[in-house]
Chains A and B, each alone.
Chain A
Amino acid sequence: GGIITQTPKFLIGQEGQKLTLKCQQNFNHDTMYWYRQDSGKGLRLIYYSITENDLQKGDLSEGYDASREKKSSFSLTVTSAQKNEMAVFLCASTDSGTGGSQNTLYFGAGTRLSVL
């Protein structure tokens, strides 16, 4: 078994601030994801990465940057926090096999963001 660790668990920022969220996994998974969860809107994909140093934009990438410097870690940066923004950011990973991956995503516990 493995685990996905997200830090910090809670993040309070100021409007306009640049904020970085971190994610570490010890599954040795190739692909990692950042999802955003808003109340009533389900989970939406922000960025994903299929291997070290790879970055791919998801459906909600505007206003975010990401970094995958190691296979085990995937960081997300909110480039300019929006006033009164509240959301949960979830990191996930999966082992992408060949010939069409059918594998399950595993999630971290999330980072809860509040912007004052």
Chain B
Amino acid sequence: AQKVTQTQTSISVVEKTTVTMDCVYETRDSSYFLFWYKQTASGEIVFLIRQDSYKKENATVGHYSLNFQKPKSSIGLIITATQIEDSAVYFCAMREVITGNTEKLIFGLGTTLQVQP
């Protein structure tokens, strides 16, 4: 079965610094899709960034980027120039095909990021 593991329960950083959140995954699929989501204090879950396994380039969106290390089954999220409003819970997720072209996301347990002034 597929699995997503986030070993860091919480991280605290000073604003304007760079933070990396770890995520490792398990899959038997040759092609797969990885995602990072952010859950704000209000509970809203927002899509941030994705990495398609067949792409060699690391995905980048704004001040979010990914460190995709396929041989290590690792997909780290890097946030540069952190801001107070980046404080949230970050979930790593992987697409799992249920049937045909229907999929679901399997989530890690999340990493709580606290950005301090």
Q: Which residue of B lies closest to A59 (CB)?
A: B104
User: Given the interface contacts A104-B50, A110-B43, A110-B44, does A45 sit within 8 Å of B109 by beta carbon?
Assistant: no
Number of interface residues of B (CB under 8 A): 25
Total A-B residue contacts, Cβ distance less than 8 Å: 57
Contact A98 B98, beta carbon cutoff 8 Å: no
B43: chain A residues within 8 A (beta carbon):
88, 109-110, 112
Number of interface residues of A (CB under 8 A): 29
A38-81, CB under 8 A of B: which get 1 and which 0? Answer: 00111101001010000010100000000000000000000000
| A contact set with B: CB distance below 8 Å | 31, 33, 40-43, 45, 48, 50, 56, 58, 88, 90, 92, 94, 96-102, 104-107, 109-110, 112
| B contact set with A: CB distance below 8 Å | 33, 35, 37, 42-47, 50, 52, 91, 95, 97-99, 101-105, 107-110
